[in-house]
A and B are shown apart, each in its own frame.
Chain A
Amino acid sequence: MSEIIAIKPDSKTFLGFWIYLMTDCVLFASLFATYAVLHNNTFGGPSSNELFDLPFVLAETLILLTSSFTCGLGVLAARMNNKKQVLAWFGLTFLLGLAFLSLELSEFASFIYEGNSFTRSGFLSAFFTLVGTHGLHITIGLLWMFVLMARIARRGLNAISLKRLVLLSLFWHFLDIIWIFIFSIVYLMGVI
């Protein structure tokens, strides 16, 4: 249990995954640019100022930030070869991620229910595309996490699953960083 797994950082895998993350950053950057350009094109619909509920979004942000932290602790537990703790920390990360996703979907649902879906204006199209793409990444991350946890629960920790855990944690921290910018640029700058 206390035996530390010596991982050879398989640098090609990490470098490849890192390059993927950086290209994903470029994808998000183009969506941010689109949003910034279309932000004022409300076509008579609601503006960001009228639409956003800041305390609700702060709650989402804190949940995702905490999940990024517990994900890091999960990787530490994996390095200490402690399977129980890995499952506990990543289980918690999964639940927090799920909570974040349901808050985001309920926000989308309430906008659409009030007649402000992505077809309403250029601003809302850009908003739904940007925030929805992030939500899609979160969904994929949760799916990945679920499959990996099921595998570790059945077969235990080894060098391969540790490598996958580290890649997953990179992905999850990356999504948190993207969300920081969505929180700042879309929500905070949207209501001032």
Chain B
Amino acid sequence: MSPMVAFVHIAVLVMMIIAAFLAVILKNLLSAVIALSAASLLLSLEFYLLHAPDVAIAEAGIGAALTMAIFIFAIRATKK
């Protein structure tokens, strides 16, 4: 593994940990969901870097887009 690729791996993983941590500590539910979705998007990037494009597409679609939409629908339904 070249140093460049290793650096990208580490950067993606560190950003993922930060996003996941934000998702836990943020009090505003909408911000927490967006942080979770950012973690999913970074996870799909990591899958792509690990040569698993099949999994990366599924993770980007389900984890980053659809899960966030369903969470936001749920938050809006419970708020009123």
- The answer to whether A and B come from one shared complex is no
A interface residue numbers (CB < 8 A to B)? none
B interface residue numbers (CB < 8 A to A)? none
